[in-house]
Structure 1
């Protein structure tokens, strides 16, 4: 195996372990490989079917490299943890706003929250009596209940 091929494979493994795990929380390794291959395929197409190591390196963990550069060429555990936490919470915030934002303007209002709660209440109130009874709640799934020892079917002990 050529030295450049070995180096490329080692770099992919390192990038996947460090950058992939850092930026793709809860994403399985198959998805990470797929995303990496998509970036590499795009780089190949953009460069007439071949890429140099420098081009390959540019494709891999640009965000991680930017963090290092933004922090004077060195990244501490605390700095990386802060960046990861910020990225994670920004992803969560985008998902929450997308879920609740009824006007599609990228903001969250009290009306958006009330509207979503009303829809959810209507889904759970199966007999439309304006009340959710214990038997109307799903036994499992997203709104499922976890029974504790001794509970009867009405949730009473």
Structure 2
């Protein structure tokens, strides 16, 4: 592969990663605002429709204040990043377990993974012939537009 092609592919990969990160950050900010509003609504309903500063402060950043207290009254960028990353990955892990856990016991087994794969395969194998063909893939979303399968998601080849 020529050097210019490699550089172009690296740039495309980097641009995709940056775009995905920007989307995730916007989505995370929106979820944070929704969570804040839910906490404020709850605090107001718990206290008859009005809240004091102390109630407001408690509803706003209780977890952040706990992190500061747990770290001797000061929180470094590294400590905060570690806590945020851990919380993010714990949420992701809970979603994955919930999606795959067929017994509802909060654990993930090889049988759970295989069972989930069989369900997804069966959904994609629209003609039930035991094979997934490119035309059976959705035109968009998670399984669509995968160039490695040779399609543009619309039944045509990628140019």
TM-score (norm 1): 0.71
CA distance in 1 between partners of 2:36 and 2:151 (Å): 49
CA distance in 1 between partners of 2:94 and 2:157 (Å): 35
Judged with a 3 Å threshold, the aligned counterparts in structure 2 of structure 1 residues 48 and 156 are, in CA distance, closer, same or farther, namely: closer
Query: Cα RMSD between the aligned structures?
Result: 2.7
CA distance in 1 between partners of 2:26 and 2:65 (Å): 18
Report the CA distance between 1:61 and its aligned residue: 0.5
Provide Cα deviations, 1:104-144, integer angstroms capped at 9, x if missing partner: 11111111101010111111111111111222222321111
Query: Is 2:31 the counterpart of 1:26?
Result: no
Q: How many residues align?
A: 132
> Which structure 2 residue ranges, 5 or more long, are not aligned?
1-24
Higher share of residues assigned helix:
2
Provide Cα deviations, 1:16-61, integer angstroms capped at 9, x if missing partner: xxxxxxxx972353x5444323322322333344332122211110
> Which structure 1 residue ranges, 5 or more long, are not aligned?
1-23
TM-score (norm 2): 0.71
What residue number does 1:118 align with? 118
Relative contact order higher in (CA < 8 Å, ≥ 6 apart): 1
